[in-house]
């Protein structure tokens, strides 16, 4: 049987997605946000207000993360993604336990992203996200 058809080890899989002991990566922090050592209550209220502020998106719109609401490695802060589809019925990830930040997250938008490195460089991939975490993208973002 060829190697291509065999299951990958966890180390091989991590190396394929750019994570290894030699090249560790913090999954969510590609650009740090403001220091939160001040008033945590105010920071929480600010993030909550950003989360509940609605934006109407349509297929073809460019979007980016709202500040402080990024919960996936990609897209990076300030990088655009294109709205591919808006789902009438959100998809919920039922495979994760209640301790996961993705538990019961309502994924209601499909976004297209260009991969900027590795073997898939330049390819458009689609992922499901919670649209509440996104805002319209502009060059200034």
Identify the residue with better confidence: 119 or 61: 61
Whether residue 118 contacts residue 96, with contact meaning beta carbons closer than 8 Å, is answered with no
Expressed in angstroms, the distance from the first to the final Cα of the chain is: 49
From the list 116, 115, 109, the residue with the least C-alpha distance to 135 is 109
Is residue 141 classed exposed, middle or buried when 0-12, 13-18 and 19+ CB atoms within 10 A define those classes? middle
Does pLDDT of 23 surpass 90? no
Q: Domain ranges for the chain, please list them.
A: 30-136
From the list 46, 41, 54, 118, the residue with the least C-alpha distance to 86 is 54
- Any idea how long the chain is? 141
In tens, the pLDDT along 73-115 reads 899 999 999 999 999 999 997 766 777 777 889 999 999 999 8
CA 121 from chain center: how many Å? 17
pLDDT of residue 67: 93
Instruction: Collect all residues with Cβ–Cβ distance below 8 Å to 81 and sequence separation of at least 6.
Output: 62, 63, 64, 75, 111, 112, 113, 134, 137
> Is the CATH number 2.30.30 carried by domain 30-136?
yes
In tens, the pLDDT along 24-44 reads 555 555 555 666 677 889 889
Whether the full predicted model's pTM is greater than 0.85, yes or no, is no
Element (H, E) at 90: strand 81-92
Element (H, E) at 91: strand 81-92
């Amino acid at each position: 049987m060829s190697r291509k058809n065999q299951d990958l080890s966890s180390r091989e899989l991590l190396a394929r997605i750019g994570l290894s002991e030699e090249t560790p990566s913090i999954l969510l922090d590609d650009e740090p946000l403001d220091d939160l050592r001040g008033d945590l209550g105010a920071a929480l209220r600010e993030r909550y207000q950003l989360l509940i502020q609605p934006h109407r998106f349509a297929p073809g719109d460019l979007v980016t993360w709202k500040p402080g609401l990024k919960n996936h490695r990609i897209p990076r802060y300030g990088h655009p993604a294109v709205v591919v589809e808006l789902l009438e019925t959100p998809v919920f990830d039922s495979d994760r336990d209640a301790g996961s930040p993705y538990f019961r997250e309502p994924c209601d938008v499909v976004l297209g992203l260009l991969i900027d490195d590795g073997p898939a460089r330049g390819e458009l991939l689609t992922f499901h996200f919670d649209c509440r975490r996104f805002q319209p993208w502009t060059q200034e973002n």
